[in-house]
Amino acid sequence: MTTTHSDVLILGGGSGGYACAFRAAQLGLSVTLIEADKIGGTCLHRGCIPTKALLHSAEVADTARTGAAFGVRTTFDGIDIEAVHQYKNDTIDRLHRGLQGLVAQHEISVVSGHGKYLGDRTIEVDGTRYTGTSVVLATGSYARTVPSIELGERIVNSDDALNLGFVPKKAIVLGGGVIGVEFASVWASFGAEVTVVEALPRLVAAEDPWCSKQLERAFRKRGIAARTGVTVAAAKETADGVLVELDGGDTLEAEILLVAVGRGPCTGDSGFAEHGITLDRGFVVTDERLRTPVDGVYAVGDIVAGLQLAHRGFQQGVFVAEEIAGLDPVPVAEHLVPRVTYSHPEVASVGLTEDAARERYGDVTAVVYDLAGNGKSQILKTSGGIKVVRAGHTGPVVGVHMVGDRVGELIGEAQLTVAWEALPTDVAPFVHAHPTQNEALGEAMLALSGKPLHAHG
């Protein structure tokens, strides 16, 4: 049996895996990257990129529909779903070609196939064994399902929904988290009547409750119904759609049901548990430096419990490469990972919610700056606001929460503010270009500094 050795052996070529590969190669280490599908993983091919392409098509549809409000004579004549998919797929293909070029540039050995961990820093693919001085597990995640609900042509998960060949007239989304909210937003913009069913009391329940209220209000204005605090008792396909029965007896009918109940770690068939890798609910258990209990074996990305976000996995991959190279990097702090839901309107946040901050610090101060006072937001005709949370009355900013179109573009400054434990008085003097939505973040800092300018009352 052939055995190939490298300094770093990586199982999984998604955001965490390929970032680790690139950084390790930059640091002069030999790298072998094993991937069963395509480099780029879920994010590029079935997640972040394709969903955001659909969301941009949805934004264009909304712009065409509302042109008269801006003095432009436009009409919305419908969605050419084949052309939408072509645009989406072209975007994916361009980025995939770019990644392939970078793989070649870094002289990374890529092995195509399903890898199985055998212990002893060894992974087998189709009868060939690969060993590494260090091994990095980065096998990613899959779309979770509900055991009692069988997927089919009309009951689909997010992978299926990305390639749906028609625009539904009526759609039900089971799950009010990021994935469910984004698809609900897309389909509503495309002209569908959408109902979101969420078992928890509010949409985007991982966010600050203020964000949930803002989003739910905006969704109501768009005609998107939200049934929160409700579970699904049964769902079945009918001759021309789906029938969903809610606990309590209510029924909903639609052309399509999207099951968007989160993502699970892909660890079940890779040999981890059988060879000393500790799992908890399917997630690989690591310490803060992403080391598993097995010497020389690390884990990154969605298989490590926490926020399942591509940029988190990417940063963890870079961290592990530098850790292996002996650079002693700073661990990735979970609360400093920025979060963006790219719906209409967007939800963006970093740091602690007000409740979490109060639990940690005992006393907090929070202000909300309404986008009604922001010139660029009024030009865009978007509503929402920016909420900033500080520890106590004199402490640093520990959380920033934003709702409104395009607020995801403000997350960089928000992250820097929280990560550097800046005081509101440190940030308030920043000169924010006018007119930009960025000014709203500055106004919130001014308010926390005790000198609100564009604020009523």
Which residues participate in catalysis according to the annotation?
434
CA-to-CA distance for 414 and 347, rounded, in angstroms?
13
Q: How far is CA 34 from CA 37, 116, 130, 292, 404, in A?
A: 9, 10, 9, 19, 40
- What H or E segment, with its residue span, contains residue 57? helix 48-65
CA-to-CA distance for 110 and 96, rounded, in angstroms?
14
Q: CA nearest 53: which of 77, 75, 72, 81? A: 81
Count of CA atoms in the C-beta half-sphere (13 A) of 417: 31
- What H or E segment, with its residue span, contains residue 170? strand 170-174
Please answer whether residues 451 and 423 qualify as being in contact, where contact means their C-beta atoms are separated by less than 8 angstroms.
no
Count of CA atoms in the C-beta half-sphere (13 A) of 389: 23
CA-to-CA distance for 137 and 77, rounded, in angstroms?
48
CB atoms within 10 A of CB 364: 21
Cα 110 to its chain centre, rounded Å, is 27
Write the single-letter amino acid at 75.
T
CA-to-CA distance for 74 and 81, rounded, in angstroms?
20
CB atoms within 10 A of CB 79: 18
Q: What is the dihedral of CA 189, 192, 195, 198, to 10 degrees?
A: -50
